[in-house]
């Protein structure tokens, strides 16, 4: 509804999850790239009707029509209820490149069928990008993203405090201290799935806070393996394969060596 455009810096996070933009007041806008249905530029871009707004968007090459420098991003959770967000670049070529590359990201089949761990990483990335004016992670943004009522809020507060973060509504904390390891532990506290810990206690992690590579290998072959699997087509895990899994998913390098 504004009659003037807002100067922003447009970016995509390094993992390709979000399109986000920051204005001069350090306010950040977000768009999940997986929700993008189409990107348009040139004659297909949606020009503003208000003449004053149109004039405020005239940046960059003045001899190039506005629509050739515009990007219209069409997005939505389904193919019926579409929404639009518009950007203007300084050059026609930049607008075309943004339109082409964003569409490639949005229709990537691997990204659209990611693992549960990838979706957790996606949420962590969102929190890491949603910084306040001081460049810190805001508790307010976390509560807004994953709580819908007071009971949910209390659960989130307890989970954050269990991981060492003070969870007042106006609190914020250093983004450098908020790692995926912290976030994953927060997620575990939030779920309260203690039966998972019991499984590993029974495997030998009760006396010491870790499993050896041999214990992980035994777990994969005895507890997790489907006994109906053909041993020739689906051979048992070797110790080397178990070690490879540990090195891939263990965040602490010192623990991975054990």
The β-bridge relationship of strands 18-23 and 8-12 is antiparallel
Cα(198)–Cα(213) distance, rounded to whole angstroms? 18
Q: Domains plus CATH for the chain?
A: 8-112 (2.30.29.240), 116-191 (2.30.29.240), 194-256 (1.10.238.10)
Cα(40)–Cα(197) distance, rounded to whole angstroms? 50
pLDDT for res 207: 73
Cα(106)–Cα(74) distance, rounded to whole angstroms? 11
Q: What is the pLDDT of residues 176-211, one digit of tens each?
A: 888 998 999 899 899 887 777 788 788 877 777 788
Q: What is the pLDDT of residues 6-38, one digit of tens each?
A: 899 999 999 999 999 988 877 888 899 999 999
pLDDT for res 254: 72
| Contact indicator for 90, 96 with CB cutoff of 8 Å | no
Model-level pTM?
0.77
What one-character-per-residue DSSP string does the chain give?
--SS---EEEEE-TTS-EEEEEETT--EEEEEGGGEEEEE-GGGS---S-HHHHHHT--S-TTS-HHHHEEEEEE-SSSSS-EEEEEE-SSHHHHHHHHHHHHHHHT-HHHHT--HHHHHHHHHHHHHH-B-TTSEEEHHHHHHHH--SHHHHHHHHHHHHHTT----TT-EEEGGG--HHHHHHHHHHHHT-HHHHHHHIIIIITTSSS--HHHHHHIIIIIIS-TTS-TTTSPPPPHHHHHHHHHHH-S-HHHHT-
Does the pLDDT value for residue 123 go beyond 90? yes
| Contact indicator for 46, 72 with CB cutoff of 8 Å | yes
pLDDT for res 199: 80
Cα(155)–Cα(121) distance, rounded to whole angstroms? 21
pLDDT for res 173: 83
Mean pLDDT calculated for residue range 55-71: 90
pLDDT for res 250: 83
Look-up of token digits 């203007």: 88
Does the pLDDT value for residue 1 go beyond 60? no
């Amino acid at each position: 509804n504004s009659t003037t455009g807002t100067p922003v810096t447009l970016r995509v996070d390094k993992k390709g999850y979000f399109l986000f933009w920051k204005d001069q007041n350090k306010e950040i806008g977000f768009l999940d790239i997986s929700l993008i249905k189409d990107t348009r530029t040139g004659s297909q871009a949606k020009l503003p009707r208000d003449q004053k707004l149109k004039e405020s968007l005239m940046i960059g090459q003045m001899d190039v029509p506005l629509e050739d420098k515009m990007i219209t991003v069409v997005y939505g959770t389904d193919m019926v209820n579409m929404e639009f967000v518009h950007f203007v670049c300084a050059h026609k070529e930049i607008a075309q490149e943004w339109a082409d590359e964003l569409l490639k990201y949005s229709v990537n089949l691997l990204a659209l069928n990611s693992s549960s761990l990838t979706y957790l990483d996606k949420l962590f990335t969102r929190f890491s990008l949603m910084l306040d004016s001081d460049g810190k992670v805001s508790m307010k943004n976390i509560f807004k993203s994953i709580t819908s009522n007071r009971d949910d809020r209390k659960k989130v507060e307890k989970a954050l405090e269990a991981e060492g973060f003070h969870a007042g509504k106006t609190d914020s904390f250093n983004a450098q201290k908020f790692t995926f390891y912290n976030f994953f532990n927060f997620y575990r506290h939030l779920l309260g799935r203690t039966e998972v810990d019991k499984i590993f206690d029974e495997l030998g992690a009760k006396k010491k806070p870790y499993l050896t590579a041999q214990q992980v290998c035994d777990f994969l072959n005895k507890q997790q393996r489907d006994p109906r699997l053909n041993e020739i087509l689906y051979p048992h895990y070797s110790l080397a394969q178990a070690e490879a899994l540990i090195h891939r998913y263990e965040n602490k390098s010192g623990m991975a060596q054990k």
